[in-house]
Structure 1
Amino acid sequence: MNLKGKVAYITGGTKGIGYGVAECLLAQGMKVAISGRSEAGVQEALKSLGDKENVLGLRSDVSSLSDETVAVKKILDKWGQLDLVLANAGVGHFAPIDEMKESEWHKMININLNGVFHTLKASVEALKKSEGYYMTLASLAGTNFFANGAGYNATKFGVVGFTQAAMLDLRKYNIKVTTIMPGSVASNFNGNKPSEKDSWKIQAEDIGKLVVDLLMMHPRTLPSKIEVRPTRPDLK
Structure 2
Amino acid sequence: MTDQTSTQGGKSAFVTGASKGIGLEVARALAGAGYSVTLTSRHSDEVEAAAQEIGHGARGVVCDVRDPQALQAEVDAHVGAFGGLDVLFVNAGVGKFGNVEELTVEQWRDVIDTNLSGAFYTVKAALPALKRRGGYIFTLSSLAGKNPFAGGAAYNASKFGLNGLSEVLTLDLRQHDIKVTQIMPGSVATFFGGHTPSEADAWKIQPEDVAQLTLDLLKMPARTLPSRVEVRPSKPPRK
TM-score over 0.5 for the alignment?
Answer: yes
Retained in 2: the 8 A contact 1:30–1:54? no
Amino acid at match of 2:26: V
Instruction: Look up the SS of the partner of 1:78 in the other structure.
Output: helix
1:67-106 equivalent positions in 2, closer than 5 A: 67-106=70-109
Instruction: Look up the SS of the partner of 1:116 in the other structure.
Output: helix
Structure 2 unaligned residues grouped into runs of 5+: 1-8
TM-superposed CA distance for 1:47, in Å, is: 3.0
Match of 2:121 among 106, 118, 122: 118
Supply the distance in 2 between the matched residues of 1:119 and 1:135 (Cα, whole angstroms). Answer: 11
1:22 matches 2:1: no
Instruction: Work out which structure has the larger RCO, using CA pairs closer than 8 Å and 6 or more positions apart in sequence.
Output: 1
Query: Which position in structure 2 is the counterpart of 1:6?
Result: 11
Supply the distance in 2 between the matched residues of 1:124 and 1:47 (Cα, whole angstroms). Answer: 27
Supply the distance in 2 between the matched residues of 1:179 and 1:81 (Cα, whole angstroms). Answer: 23
Give the paired residue count: 231
1:111-150 equivalent positions in 2, closer than 5 A: 111-150=114-153
TM-superposed CA distance for 1:39, in Å, is: 1.3
Amino acid at match of 2:30: L
Instruction: Look up the SS of the partner of 2:119 in the other structure.
Output: helix
TM-superposed CA distance for 1:29, in Å, is: 1.4
Match of 1:209 among 205, 209, 212: 212
Retained in 2: the 8 A contact 1:91–1:108? yes
Retained in 1: the 8 A contact 2:52–2:58? no
TM-superposed CA distance for 1:142, in Å, is: 0.2
TM-superposed CA distance for 1:225, in Å, is: 0.8
Structure 1 unaligned residues grouped into runs of 5+: none
TM-superposed CA distance for 1:97, in Å, is: 1.1
TM-superposed CA distance for 1:30, in Å, is: 1.3
Structure 1 range deviating more: 38-47 or 81-90:
38-47
TM-score by length of 1: 0.95
TM-superposed CA distance for 1:234, in Å, is: 2.4
Which deviations, in whole Å up to 9, do the C-alpha atoms of 1:145-192 show, x marking residues without a partner? Answer: 010001100000000000000110000000001111110001111122
TM-score by length of 2: 0.94
Instruction: Look up the SS of the partner of 1:227 in the other structure.
Output: strand
Which deviations, in whole Å up to 9, do the C-alpha atoms of 1:88-124 show, x marking residues without a partner? Answer: 0000011111111111000001000001100000000
Query: Following TM superposition, where does structure 1 have runs of at least 4 consecutive aligned residues deviating by more than 6 angstroms?
Result: none
State the identity %: 46
Supply the distance in 1 between the matched residues of 2:97 and 2:238 (Cα, whole angstroms). Answer: 22
TM-superposed CA distance for 1:230, in Å, is: 0.5
1:37-48 equivalent positions in 2, closer than 5 A: 37-48=42-53
Query: Which position in structure 1 is the counterpart of 2:168?
Result: 165
TM-superposed CA distance for 1:70, in Å, is: 0.7
